[in-house]
Amino acid sequence: MAATIETIPAISLRSPQGEFRNTAYIDFNNPENARAMREALRKVHAQLGTEYDLVIGGDMVRTKEKIKSLNPAKPSEVVGIHQKAGAEHVEPAMQAALKAFESWRTTSWEERASLLLNASEIIQSRRLEFNAWMVYEVGKNWVEADADTGETIDFLEFYAREALRLSRVKTPVQLPGERDELLYIPLGVGAVIPPWNFPFAIMAGMTSAAIVCGNTVILKPSSDSPTIAAKFVEVLQEAGMPEGVVNFCPGSGGTFGNALVEHPKTRFIAFTGSKEVGLDINQRAATPRKGQLWIKRTVLEMGGKDSIIVQADCDLDAAVEGVVASAFGFNGQKCSACSRAIVEESIYDVFLERLRDRVARLTQGDPLENKNTGPVVNEGAMKSILEYIEIGKREGRVISGGARANELGDGYYVQPTVIADIAPDARISQEEIFGPVLAVIKARDFRHSLEIANNTEYGLTGAIYTNNPEKKEIAKRDFHVGNLYINRKCTGAMVGAHPFGGFNMSGTDSKAGGPDYLYLFTQAKSAAEKVTR
């Protein structure tokens, strides 16, 4: 890591400047912005291959086993070399976090919020560099990377303000002769286990929400994106974070991760990832261990099989744009991505024709060149997606893509793929693929469309394109998803405006980026004092 313990400053106190406002995106059509982004890419390229230590309390730790983070567009290129935490590192990390918790829990809300604001300021000053790290490490194009960095800034700014609000909460009733208080106190030491697809925003969002509430954290980033997490820990150190508040421990989920979840002193687990891993964490966390005093809290954001309903009364061109953006933005590697377009039969054929034409205009290639779509994250993901495409060929009719993009070299490129005439219960209609594969399903009418949309085990995001006011209201009531969008794409949740989290097997409906989120990292304590005169 760049910072050493001796150089970490005390937290400089800052207050939020005005009301929360979402970060504006950078316009890369502006030649000056494009030039600056290319310069950031060159600067970051010079740092590729750096080795990073575990950070456990005040110690920088190296291990025999390493994690190599690779550029998915050029797998021969090593982005970062990381130590691989094993089960033997759980206890030292836990003890460091427990020690830090004793002082961090009593640190004022204002100081903890200031840490987030300081970190936000640092990230804003290096925004293009963080964008560049995501271009190299997970294959995001410039726009997707900038949206990720912008959301990171938003989470820090929003949670700092929410923390100050939470510190001033009052009871609804003050009884005569009493002083009644409602205090939100931290839980303890938590495990934060983020995904690779939003390697900055989700990782930083879960971490910052936990620590601003007075908890300490053991951060186990995805093995596909540990470098971005390492850079965030460096930012927190620079911003004034005390030793042990965030302990940086990349490692295997099956060894380090499971041991961390099962540790009797782990108070909560914040996880974003697949349904299978989330359910396993939930089960492990539900089993009390020797010496455990609490029911572990789990904050689980899992998968999705998200649908966009397209009605005959909609703006069809807008619907096509929304479906394409939702299905193929970041190559479909979003839990919110549209993987099913449910189209009313009277417009089905014309929709397919316009959809095929729009997908054909997408550019694919190295994210360094800011193409519309790039590689998927790793070889295993590519193989899995291609297997699903083969299943889809048997279940429907391929109208776009359908193969690996071999002409683009050794990167993990899969063509944006559209498969039409899919049955509602087909495998590619039910199973999360997490790649650039869209199933198109024909529906008889609006009610049939809703029935299909609700026929999976998930319930994360969804959208409907219609100009009918009654259909909009019915969708709000009956389209069973945590995030519903009307006449817009089903991806791109904005902090503060679209609190994010889903129903059913999509998770615990955590509503990240909303006014309820920090409650998940606190426990409410009522204090009533009799007032004597």
The per-residue pLDDT for 128 is 98
List the Cα angle 342/344/349 in 5-degree steps: 95
The per-residue pLDDT for 15 is 87
pLDDT band at residue 3, thresholds of 50, 70 and 90?
very low
Per cent of the chain over pLDDT 70 is: 98
Mean pLDDT of the chain: 97
Rounded Cα distance between 296 and 288, Å, is 8
The per-residue pLDDT for 152 is 98
Asked which of 6-10, 316-320, 456-460, 524-528 is least confident by mean pLDDT, the reply is: 6-10
Residue 10 has pLDDT above 90, yes or no: no
Q: In what order do the strands lie in the sheet with 189-193?
A: 59-61, 54-56, 246-248, 216-219, 189-193, 266-272, 297-301
3-state secondary structure 226-287: HHHHHHHHHHHHHHCCCCCCEEECCECHHHHHHHHHHCCCEEEEEEECCHHHHHHHHHHHHC
pLDDT band at residue 9, thresholds of 50, 70 and 90?
low
Coil vs helix vs strand at 138: helix
Q: Which domains does the chain have, with CATH numbers?
A: 37-302+511-525 (3.40.605.10), 306-494 (3.40.309.10)
Do residues 280 and 269 make contact, with C-beta atoms less than 8 angstroms apart? no
Q: How many CB atoms lie within 10 A of CB 242?
A: 20
Residue 26 has pLDDT above 80, yes or no: yes
The per-residue pLDDT for 8 is 57
Residue 71 has pLDDT above 70, yes or no: yes
Q: Which residues are catalytic?
A: 301, 335
How is residue 372 written in tokens? Answer: 């519309």
Distances (CA, A) of 365 to 138, 331, 481: 14, 11, 33
The per-residue pLDDT for 5 is 42
Q: How many CB atoms lie within 10 A of CB 426?
A: 19
The per-residue pLDDT for 533 is 72
Q: What is the DSSP letter of 106?
A: T
3-state secondary structure 341-356: EEEEHHHHHHHHHHHH
Q: What is the pLDDT of residues 460-470, one digit of tens each?
A: 999 999 999 99
Strand partners, 426: none
Strand partners, 262: none
Q: What is the pLDDT of residues 209-229, one digit of tens each?
A: 999 999 999 999 999 999 999
How is residue 199 written in tokens? Answer: 């390697």
Strand partners, 179: 529
Mean pLDDT of 90-100: 98
The per-residue pLDDT for 2 is 43
Mean pLDDT of 306-325: 98
Q: What is the pLDDT of residues 156-190, one digit of tens each?
A: 999 999 999 999 999 999 999 999 999 999 999 99
How far apart, in Å, do the first and last CA atoms of the chain sit? 58
Q: What is the pLDDT of residues 344-384, one digit of tens each?
A: 999 999 999 999 999 999 999 999 999 999 999 999 999 99
List the Cα angle 243/248/517 in 5-degree steps: 90
The per-residue pLDDT for 362 is 98
Question: 127-138 and 109-125 are packed helices; what angle lies between their axes, rounded to 10 degrees?
Answer: 80
Mean pLDDT of 34-63: 98
pTM comes to 0.97
Mean pLDDT of 319-337: 98
